Amino acid sequence: MHAIRIEEHGGPEVMRWTELPDPAPGPGEALVRLGAAGVNYMDIGARAQGSPGWAAPVILGAEGMGYVTALGTGGEGLAVGDRVAWFYHPGSYAELLAIPANSLVKVPDAITDETAAAVMLQGLTASHLSTETYAIGPGDTAVVHAAAGGVGLLLTQMIKARGGDVIGLVSREEKATVAKEAGADHVLVWSGGGFEERIRELTGGRGADVVYDGGGTETFRSSQLALRTHGVHAYYGPFMGVPAFRPTDLPNSILLTYPVVHHHVPTREALVHRTGELFDLILGGRLTPRIGGRYALADAARAHADIESRRTTGKLLLLP
């Protein structure tokens, strides 16, 4: 088989299309032939700087869907030929993967391969943000950073499905239309911080109920200043940087949280339940992922370069 592997951390140029021995499923594992792998900012950070579990040399990628081709002992609940998806398995930029069976969920027949691959990690992240991090209710106003990105578009649709209003932030004028098509009530073309006054104008001086902030350290302070008293600043994304601050710097008695998607699906039962909710939203026409680009798996470096350039919208997929 082939996979995208790095021997050192750096730019997209360190990514290599590498031939490796085919994996074999161990006890409790399934051998899966890749159908599509999702590209995430997590992958960019793993490639550029690494983190626990992502030290070079390593195969990149965490999310995808595929087809079960063999089972190890104890792989109950699955059969050869099943279409399955996963939200986190390191090394997903590979033609073949040996994945723990309890990390896999079956994909309903009515959901396409690309849709399944596009909603696992980012869809579960958006679900976590809009339910357990801050449970959006009718009339709530949420600010969504990168509203035309993979998480942002799904999150916007989920907020609207729960009766909330969305103020989306995008980096380019051409992305504003994409965010509005997903349901955003207002879209601001903005780069960096300084947007808090516009948020207050749009909320009649009150401030937003929640800001979903994957923008990194540049947006950290403005996100907080855009909140109402006791509003929630949801700062997510493990590779976005951690700003230095004191608790006494927090304005308006706001609540600061750092949501981690694994805490949304801490058990097998939770994973099945939450992905089932995602699939139901899709089947009911209330959630539609936007595929922003399709690349050959061997061209993963080009996908990384494109997403880092901020030229892309929606979800990028790698196809074997």
For residue range 167-202, what is the model confidence (pLDDT) as tens digits? 999 999 999 999 999 999 999 999 889 999 999 999
- The CA angle 181-282-65, to the nearest 5 degrees, is 110
**pTM for the whole structure:** 0.95
The rounded mean pLDDT for the chain is: 95
Residue 74 pLDDT class (50, 70, 90 cuts): confident
Percentages (nearest 5) of helix, strand, coil residues in the chain: 35, 30, 40
Residue 71 pLDDT class (50, 70, 90 cuts): very high
Cis amide leading into 138 (omega within 30)? no
DSSP letter string over 73-141?
A: TT-TT--TT-EEEES--S--SBSEEEEEGGG-EEPPTTS-HHHHHHHSHHHHHHHHIIIIIS---TT-E
Mean pLDDT of the region 92-114: 98
CA–CA dist 58, 184 (Å, integer): 38
Would you tell me how many other CB atoms lie within 10 Å of the CB of residue 170?
27
CA–CA dist 316, 297 (Å, integer): 11
Q: Which single residue is written with the structure tokens 């050869």? A: 80
Checking if the pLDDT of 239 tops 80, the result is no
CATH of domain 123-262: 3.40.50.720
Mean pLDDT of the region 284-288: 97
pLDDT on residue 300: 98
Checking if the pLDDT of 216 tops 90, the result is no
238 vs 280, higher pLDDT? 280
pLDDT on residue 238: 59
For residue range 5-45, what is the model confidence (pLDDT) as tens digits? 999 999 999 999 999 999 999 999 999 999 999 999 899 99
pLDDT on residue 76: 80
CA–CA dist 77, 82 (Å, integer): 10
Would you tell me how many other CB atoms lie within 10 Å of the CB of residue 297?
21
Inter-CA distances, 77 with 68, 217, 253, Å: 12, 44, 48
Q: What are phi and psi of 146, to 5 degrees?
A: 50, 50
pLDDT on residue 160: 98
Residues 6+ apart with CB under 8 A from 232: 133, 134, 209, 210, 211, 254, 255, 256, 257
Checking if the pLDDT of 153 tops 70, the result is yes
Residue 283 · residue 132 · CB < 8 Å: no
Inter-CA distances, 177 with 5, 155, 180, 271, Å: 36, 16, 5, 33
Q: Where are the domains of the chain?
A: 2-107+290-319, 123-262
Mean pLDDT of the region 94-122: 97
Residue 170 · residue 176 · CB < 8 Å: yes
Mean pLDDT of the region 161-168: 98
Beta-sheet pairing, 255-257 with 227-235: parallel
pLDDT on residue 244: 83
Checking if the pLDDT of 57 tops 80, the result is yes
Residues 6+ apart with CB under 8 A from 49: 9, 239
Mean pLDDT of the region 63-73: 97
Residue 187 · residue 203 · CB < 8 Å: no
Q: Which of 92, 45, 31 is nearest to 64 (CA)?
A: 92
Mean pLDDT of the region 99-124: 97
Topology of domain 2-107+290-319, per CATH?
Answer: Quinone Oxidoreductase; Chain A, domain 1 (3.90.180)
Residue 240 pLDDT class (50, 70, 90 cuts): low
Residue 159 · residue 166 · CB < 8 Å: yes
